[in-house]
Amino acid sequence: MTQVLALSGGIGGARLALGLQHTLPPGELTVVVNTGDDFEHLGLSISPDIDTVLYTLSGQENPDRGWGRGGDSWHFMAEIERLGGERWFRLGDKELAVHIERTRRLNAGEKLSRITADFAGHFGILGKVVPMTNDMVRTMVVTEGEGTLDFQQYFVARRCEPVVKGMAYAGAADAQMPPVLQEVLTDPSLQAIVICPSNPWLSIAPMLEIPAWREALQEATVPVIAVSPLLNGHAVRGPATKIMSELGLEPSSASIAQFYGNLIDGFVLDRSEAHVAPEIGVATHVTATSMKTPADRQRLAGEVLEFAGSFRGVGV
């Protein structure tokens, strides 16, 4: 039995994680999930990316929105609105149970990694889904004109409209890696680490700012392969290229590879970005990275694993 570790944010990353889950034998995938977007809302502990990964890997996602549960109802939100309560961040009825149960267990002193593992089990997921840390890390967006915003204020309440001047990851410098991830990273059967096509600045950077994570990637003896989230100079979803431009970066896969720098051994990019492949300082694999169908996801996952396998014996 081998092991593959995938680093993921929300929907883009979760889709490749789903492809990996279908491609690998049961139990061989561990998905590490960004918790920089986590926040407290209406007294509840919300972990948006963990939930997106749980719903996607168990086939319960909302494919249109990319967040929340498919086929959810909205009675709770309707009542909150009727009471004049907060309505900017929407919580569906089914997912409310997830937030309430997570909050109850966190308040009882349990670790987020334990709770997430149990939820994954209840959802029938055979691999591991693990938060990047059990400690509090909060992604903050430094904006022009509106000061520093909490991630969900920027992302949902302000719809990513403010111009981004920089990012901060509060708590990351002191955060630890959950012990279960140390076990996976030191498992001799670990074959590859895959950085899924999530937004590098919003979803992957919070992990890289945790010293134990940066060291783990730097010292990894297995290939670390990143997949670019850009197609034809645009992110399929979300503000990646808007943020890149605002940070003074060329919105291309080359800037993303540069962001990962010497942490990665290989880089997968879409055919529409092939012209920047010569600018990328590590081995590249150019292919179709769009993941509209299950067949797309599995083909891409298979190619990523094969590309990782091509480093075997080369020494990374």
**Which position among 62, 67, 127, 255 is part of the footprint of ligand FO1 (CB under 6 A)?**
67
Cα separation, 238 vs 252, in Å, equals: 15
Q: For 79-82, which contacts have Cβ atoms below 8 Å and span 24 or more sequence positions?
A: 80/42
Dihedral angle at the C-alpha atoms of 271, 246, 170, 176, nearest 10 degrees? 20
Query: Least CB distance from residue 254 to ligand FO1, whole Å?
Result: 24
Query: Least CB distance from residue 155 to ligand FO1, whole Å?
Result: 5
CB closer to ligand FO1 out of 51 and 209? 51
CB closer to ligand FO1 out of 143 and 284? 143
37 binds ligand FO1 (CB under 6 A): yes
**Which position among 51, 209, 270, 303 is part of the footprint of ligand FO1 (CB under 6 A)?**
51
How buried is residue 243: exposed, middle or buried, by Cβ count under 10 Å (0-12/13-18/19+)? Answer: buried
CB closer to ligand FO1 out of 93 and 296? 93
Cα separation, 265 vs 308, in Å, equals: 9
201 binds ligand FO1 (CB under 6 A): no
From the list 42-50, 227-235, 259-267, 296-304, the region that binds ligand FO1 by CB under 6 A is 42-50
Query: Least CB distance from residue 269 to ligand FO1, whole Å?
Result: 21
Pairing relationship of beta strands 190-195 and 224-227 according to DSSP bridges: parallel
131 binds ligand FO1 (CB under 6 A): no
Contact between 208 and 263 (Cβ < 8 Å):
yes
Cα separation, 63 vs 111, in Å, equals: 29
Tell me the site size for ligand FO1, rule CB under 6 A: 16
Cα separation, 280 vs 266, in Å, equals: 9
49 binds ligand FO1 (CB under 6 A): yes
**Which position among 5, 6, 9, 289 is part of the footprint of ligand FO1 (CB under 6 A)?**
9
169 binds ligand FO1 (CB under 6 A): no
CB closer to ligand FO1 out of 6 and 185? 6
CB closer to ligand FO1 out of 23 and 52? 52
Contact between 50 and 114 (Cβ < 8 Å):
no
- Residue of closest CB approach to ligand FO1: 10
**Which position among 136, 156, 180, 212 is part of the footprint of ligand FO1 (CB under 6 A)?**
156
Dihedral angle at the C-alpha atoms of 81, 86, 87, 91, nearest 10 degrees? -100
Structure tokens belonging to residue 247:
């940070």
**Segment 74-103, which members bind ligand FO1 (CB under 6 A)?**
89-91, 95
Dihedral angle at the C-alpha atoms of 40, 36, 100, 58, nearest 10 degrees? 160
48 binds ligand FO1 (CB under 6 A): yes
Strand partners, 140: 150, 168
Measure CA of the first residue to CA of the last residue in the chain; give whole Å: 22
CB closer to ligand FO1 out of 90 and 299? 90
154 binds ligand FO1 (CB under 6 A): no
**Interacting residues toward ligand FO1 by CB under 6 A:** 9-10, 37, 46, 48-49, 51, 67-68, 89-91, 95, 152, 155-156
